[in-house]
Amino acid sequence: MVELSGNLLFIAFILYLLGTFIFAGSIRQKKNMDVQKKPERWSKVGIVVTIFGFIAQLGYFITRWIAAGHAPVSNLFEFITFFGMMLVAAFIVIFFIYRNAVLGLFSLPIALLIIAYASMFPNEISPLVPSLKSYWLHIHVTTAATGEAVLAISFAAGLIYLIKSIDQTKSSKSSFWLEVVLFSLISVLGFILTTSSFAIADYESQFVYTDKDGETAETTYTLPAIVGPHEGELVTEGHIEPMVQVPAFINAKKLNTVLWSLGAGAVLYLLIRLITRKRIGALLKPLTKNSKLELLDEIGYRSVLIGFPIFTLGALIFAMIWAQLAWSRFWGWDPKEVWALITWLFYAAFLHLRLSKGWHGEKSAWLAVIGFAIIMFNLIVVNLVIAGLHSYAGV
């Protein structure tokens, strides 16, 4: 059953990749074609392939649930793959509403990066820790991930809007920050390539260190140590000593992974710039030529309008109910709880500025991009660096 589950996830990944290329074919449509009309042949094929990919990933989710005996959302690998699956589901629904093929050309690669990112974490099925043995695991985590996935569609629409509207022929604050956003996506690819390379090389470094409780502990690095654990000692001979050690409340191993990701992303970004002699935004701009800015703005807004209440239910209301049952308190200022609140406040401000202050167009697009950055900071940095009650993944 576990092997079948893994095969279905791989098939889904391949179909999403194929769907991306098919949607790219639809960009060749005539410039005077109204993108709000029924999609052309390439778009129809692309959405059918995407739906088959989603069905395959749904099969992965069901078979893994059967094999594990609980909803497969209990660690980083499972949560992130579910997040990617729901992002694709949100795209499929929104595609049938707005018939925008370019959205698929950007949404599917984001989902692919998310799923590939998940695959870098341990994917073994393990028993639930006591605090997770509750039906609220299914309710809270899946609802929160679904809300974030719908909000991610607003990011895709906002990114397309910015790539199309920002003048790439001259340097400006807008073009600079757009490049920063695209660099961040490339850094995720850098993480995948780096982790895969050292995994193939079977790299491991053992450290003995002092944890935040003052106890002696051991950890294994799968990437060369740029930063080491608190009062850590490298016990594997012939490997590089870390440059610095971090305080005990910071997960040094996971911070090391983030630093490697940023470094690999920087190398990839510089290579692309040297080869093409263009900004990444300028390279992507031709793909947006048939997109209507008004439609992209509408998609971004509607995605937030749908995703925000779902996120509110999952990440705040259901989370507080479960926290009361598991830890006898509704709120405890755990890092994940804090960032869930920050995310909620940001999107509440998004809707306020949109409805009351008239922040449409480029301003709204930037808000959608910033909102997704907050979600990813919560998913990556808070999960990988800051230790808390929600740190369930053994990576």
Mean pLDDT by 10 residues, the chain (395 residues): 83 93 74 49 90 96 89 87 95 91 92 88 76 77 93 95 90 90 88 84 87 82 87 82 83 82 91 92 88 92 95 90 76 79 94 90 94 87 59 42
How far apart are alpha carbons 167 and 217 in whole angstroms? 53
Contacts of residues 16-21 at CB distance under 8 Å and 24 or more positions apart, as own/partner, are: 16/50, 16/53, 16/88, 16/108, 16/111, 16/112, 16/115, 17/108, 17/112, 18/49, 18/53, 19/46, 19/47, 19/49, 19/50, 19/53, 19/104, 19/108, 20/104, 20/105, 20/108, 20/109, 20/112
List CB contacts of 25: < 8 A, sequence separation 6 or more: 42, 46
Task: Report the pLDDT value the prediction gives residue 257, as an integer from 0 to 100.
Answer: 82
Task: Report the pLDDT value the prediction gives residue 246, as an integer from 0 to 100.
Answer: 83
Task: Report the pLDDT value the prediction gives residue 31, as an integer from 0 to 100.
Answer: 45
Residues composing the chain: 395
Q: Which helix (H) or strand (E) holds 209?
A: strand 205-210
Q: Are 338 and 381 in contact (CB under 8 A)?
A: no
Task: Report the pLDDT value the prediction gives residue 393, as an integer from 0 to 100.
Answer: 41
How far apart are alpha carbons 227 and 251 in whole angstroms? 10
DSSP track, 339-375: HHHHHHHHHHHHHHHHHHS---HHHHHHHHHHHHHHH
Buried b (16+ CB within 10 A) or exposed e, 274-293: eeeeebbbbebbebbebbeb
Among left, alpha and beta (phi > 0; psi -120 to 50; other), residue 361 is: left
How far apart are alpha carbons 19 and 105 in whole angstroms? 8
Task: Report the pLDDT value the prediction gives residue 386, as an integer from 0 to 100.
Answer: 56
CA distances from 251 to 161, 211, 376 (A): 37, 9, 18
